Amino acid sequence: MEALHQFGLALGALLTPTSVFHVAWATLLGIFVGSLPGLTATMGVALLTTLTYTMERDAAILVLICMYVGAIYGGSRSAILLNIPGTPASAATSLDGFPLAQRGEAGYAMGLATAGSAFGTLVGILLLVMLAPPLAAIAFDFGSFEFFWLAVFGIVISGQLTGGVTPLKGYIAGLLGLMVAMIGSEGIHAHVRFNLGMDPLNGGIGLIPAMVGAFGFAEVLTVMYRRKAELAEKKADRVLPKLVDLFKYKFTILRSGVIGTLVGIIPGVGEDIGAWASYAAARRTSREKDRFGNGSKEGLTAAETGNSAVVPGALIPALTLAVPGSAPAAVLIAALFLHGIRPGPMIMIEQPTFIYSVAAMLVLATLAILIYGLSLTRLFILVLRIPRELLMPVVFTLCVIGPYALTQRVFDIWVMVVFGLIGFVLRQMNYPMAPLVLGIILGALLDKSLRRGLTLTDGDLTPFFTRPISALFVVIIVLSIVAGLKPVRQAFARLGRSDGERTDV
């Protein structure tokens, strides 16, 4: 009840003309960014972070959250109309959204995606308000030992779940991120490591230039490399989802919302996995399994609900543990620090109402996507017609000036370029980007926690394995790695198949 009261107060405080104006433009911009293939939510949030530097704290966070929610939702537009997910989060959406568009039901598919996204975010917000305060309380028991394993857990689980065909590439991406984090002055003795003789590296690699490069410049190159896509829109149809459809899929919406939020809580996993997990769960329990992949409205609803629910879910560990649940949440953490908010276990002490403010911001962003999604369908189709040859150089110009604006160092532009080129090559080789980003974020935490823990125990490793929460982390990490081994995965797949056959009979 107290949580509801705090949430109501936060929502009331946000209902000012200025805040509503920020919600209106930032969510609309987010939907545009998400709907354009090549512009991702991470890139949008990273670029906007550089633009909100001079804004007042709450307004800046509101703008970034609206961009995040809008971009994740906006990805469904191009997934439905072009069969190209605007963001990776909408990959599952295109499976059923595009066939629906080809059948002349593009408008209805977009309406259903809008409703799914809105409900998914609302389920996630509810869980955020319920779970974040107790999680922050649990995190008070975390010492160096637990934080070390939390960092390792983040890298392992993120590598495992985003690695695609092999977790090994996910682990390598995570290790590369951790190695990048080793550059510059370390956090205990302020000793400069691996600066390669370059003074600008003494402070380490900036997260924003690295993210803008890996998600911005690399996307520009990927878009220009790809073939041009064609719009599937044929004729205007109804956009407003039928209530009977929404009622029919009520359990799918609820289940996908919960799955998406839980996936969001897992460090560095992100919206795409949330969408796929929700989609798979919906398919498994659906009475219309054969329609999945051929224009299933239930599949589309599940995917969109799942990916949107990840947004509030990803903010739960980001706010309470300073460990991002997704790549855009990683940028949000950097933005929070920029604006003087210290995410982590102390947040409920230092900023007791902040979590409720974030929940209120998410509600406003959800309302905005609902309004825009159901009313501006034609406008979004026009946006998709902007030639990439005009859009991409503008995006790259922002990639250049954005990181520079934060520090006024030309060196950060070079960092962005290097990370962009490396990011493009890694993507082409099927290395996931999320563990890389998580590695850069968690590197300092892992490094300091291990050395602090060893100093406390005079070099004894035992507490790393015997303290209850540490032991739990160790068990989960070992199980995750074992589950990623090919023979184990094959055994699970065989088990799943035989289970499915029994169910079908």
| In the complex, minimum distance from the CB of residue 387 to other proteins, in angstroms, rounded to a whole number | 7
Q: Which range in 57-65, 223-231, 262-270, 278-286 contacts other proteins by CB under 8 A? A: 223-231
Under DSSP, is residue 192 helix (H, G, I), strand (E, B) or coil? strand
Do residues 178 and 443 lie in contact, with contact meaning Cβ atoms separated by under 8 Å? yes
Report the residue from 1, 2, 17, 54 that binds other proteins according to the rule CB under 8 A: 54
Residues 287 to 326 in contact with other proteins, rule: CB under 8 A? none
Report the residue from 1, 17, 227, 243 that binds other proteins according to the rule CB under 8 A: 227
Distance between CA 43 and CA 207 in Å, rounded?
A: 12
Q: What is the separation of C-alpha 260 from the centre of its chain, rounded to a whole number of angstroms?
A: 11
| In the complex, minimum distance from the CB of residue 448 to other proteins, in angstroms, rounded to a whole number | 9
User: Per rule CB under 8 A, is residue 483 in the interface with other proteins?
Assistant: no
| In the complex, minimum distance from the CB of residue 177 to other proteins, in angstroms, rounded to a whole number | 10
Q: Which range in 13-21, 56-64, 115-123, 414-422 contacts other proteins by CB under 8 A? A: 414-422
Q: Which range in 232-240, 277-285, 413-421, 466-474 contacts other proteins by CB under 8 A? A: 413-421
| In the complex, minimum distance from the CB of residue 337 to other proteins, in angstroms, rounded to a whole number | 19
Exposed, middle or buried by CB within 10 Å (0-12, 13-18, 19+), for 385?
exposed
Type of residue numbered 366: T
Query: Which is nearer to other proteins, 332 or 450 (by Cβ)?
Result: 450
Distance, first Cα to last Cα, the chain: 47
Task: Retrieve residue 80's tokens.
Answer: 């439905």
User: Per rule CB under 8 A, is residue 394 in the interface with other proteins?
Assistant: yes
* Among the listed residues 253, 179, 266, the one whose alpha carbon sits nearest the alpha carbon of residue 476: 266
| In the complex, minimum distance from the CB of residue 390 to other proteins, in angstroms, rounded to a whole number | 5
Do residues 94 and 226 lie in contact, with contact meaning Cβ atoms separated by under 8 Å? no
Q: Binding pattern to other proteins, positions 431-470, x when CB under 8 A?
A: ---------------xx--xxx-xx--xx-----------
Write out the DSSP string of 475-503: HHHHHHHHHHSHHHHHHHHHHHHHHHHHH
**Angle, helix 486-504 to helix 468-484, in steps of 10 degrees:** 80
Q: What dihedral angle (degrees, nearest 10) is formed by the CA atoms of 262, 29, 113, 219?
A: -70
Give, in order, the Cα–Cα distances in Å from 128 to each of 133, 314, 409: 9, 9, 37
Distance between CA 90 and CA 84 in Å, rounded?
A: 8
Report the residue from 11, 51, 346, 367 that binds other proteins according to the rule CB under 8 A: 51
Q: Which range in 41-49, 113-121, 221-229, 301-309 contacts other proteins by CB under 8 A? A: 221-229
User: Per rule CB under 8 A, is residue 248 in the interface with other proteins?
Assistant: no
Binding site for other proteins (CB under 8 A): 51, 53-54, 164-166, 168-169, 171-172, 175-176, 178-179, 182, 186, 188-189, 191, 193-194, 217, 220-221, 224-227, 387, 389-390, 392-394, 396-398, 400-401, 404-405, 408, 410, 413-414, 416-417, 421, 424-425, 428-430, 446-447, 450-452, 454-455, 458-459, 486
